[in-house]
Structure 1
Amino acid sequence: MTAPTPTARRRAREVAFRLAYQADVMAEPLAAQPLDEGGEGRLSEDQKALVDDVLAVLRGRGDEVDDRIRQAAQHWELERLAATDRSVLRIAIAELIGRPGTPVRVVLDEAIEIARRYGGEESGRFVNGVLDRAARPSCPTSTATWRRSRRCSPTSPRIVRPASSAWATSWATAPRPTSASTGCAR
């Protein structure tokens, strides 16, 4: 089975990831230089704009990005994270800040795929957990937008219908959970 072909935006996110990773490993600031696309072919204008937006947030608001990672990565010091995981988290949070119109779910899914490709065995799961917490409370988009993009909280109760034919009666008389108690957007 062959790996899925990355989308054009994922390719741009991977370029941003590699630049952020290189700056992190080399302990150098992200330089405001033209993109070096190497042997990957040319990036479209939309792809370059995405890379530029993400890197601009990392350059100008890098401390804010790192603070959000520290708050979300409970019991983990930022400096002790794998450089790949740290770079994936940085570009994803920078995109959430710099491109609030991009659905949160898309940013999270793309970051998870990049972490799986470039990181360790558990990188995808770790990045998923951290980004889920980081995107939730202080996402630059509204909470309602976040809820729509995530559907329901993973901790919300699920209603299961009984197998018997009397389910309609029990369903009609059962107390209904409110949106406040379930965390679901209605």
Structure 2
Amino acid sequence: MAKSIRDARELAMKILFQMDANKNFDYELFVANDITGDFKDSPRVMDILENMKLHITDIDNTIEENSKNRKVQRIPKADLAIIRVAVCEILYLDDVPEAVSINEAVELAKAYGTDKAPGFINALLGQTVRSR
């Protein structure tokens, strides 16, 4: 079970990475195959996944608009999963301050992203917040 919002973000990022690799954003398949119960026991993960399913096009458009029109297909997959979680939180989940979402995304990028990911993600998310 995801013990904190930080753990939930990390789990959501990993699931989104897998979903993107499979080209299938229907998270119910992942939940149905969840033998550990991590997804069902974490309302935060479920909120992120549901919002991703409902708003993936808007989230990706927001990413492209705020990344100097870099297409999401050109962003490394781990970086993209981290960005999607943060943009989802910023746009659709109002219970965490935007600055916290950005900071947590940068921390995930340091652990899972490419070398340039922390700076790129920080700049992209900062622009996303400013453009709202």
- Settle same-fold status: TM greater than 0.5: yes
Task: Verify: 1:15 aligned to 2:11, yes or no.
Answer: yes
Unaligned runs of 5+ in 2: none
| Shift in Å, 1:29 | 2.2
Check conservation: 1:53, 1:98, Cα contact below 8 A.
no
Tell me what 2:26 maps to.
30
Q: Which amino acid aligns with 1:120?
A: T
- CA deviation profile, 1:20-51 (whole Å, cap 9, x unmatched): 0001112222322427375xx85795xx1111
Give the Å deviation of 1:10: 1.0
Alignment of 1:1-186 (within 5 A): 8-33=4-29, 34=31, 36=34, 45=41, 48-138=42-132
Letter in 2 for 1:107: S
Q: Taking every aligned residue pair, what percent have the same amino acid on both sides? A: 24
Task: Give the letter for the 1:68 counterpart.
Answer: T
- Measured in 2, the distance between the counterparts of 1:132 and 1:30 equals 29
Q: Give the alignment's TM-score, normalised by structure 2.
A: 0.86
| Code of the aligned partner of 2:91 | I
Q: Which runs of 5+ in 1 are unaligned?
A: 1-6, 139-186
Number of residue pairs matched?
128
Larger Rg: 1 or 2? 1
Alpha-carbon distance between aligned partners in 2 of 1:101 and 1:26, rounded to the nearest angstrom: 30
Please, what is the CA RMSD of the aligned residues? Answer: 2.1
Runs (4 or more) in structure 1 with deviation over 6 Å come to none
Cα offsets for 1:145-168 (capped at 9, x unmatched): xxxxxxxxxxxxxxxxxxxxxxxx
AA of the residue aligned to 1:90: R
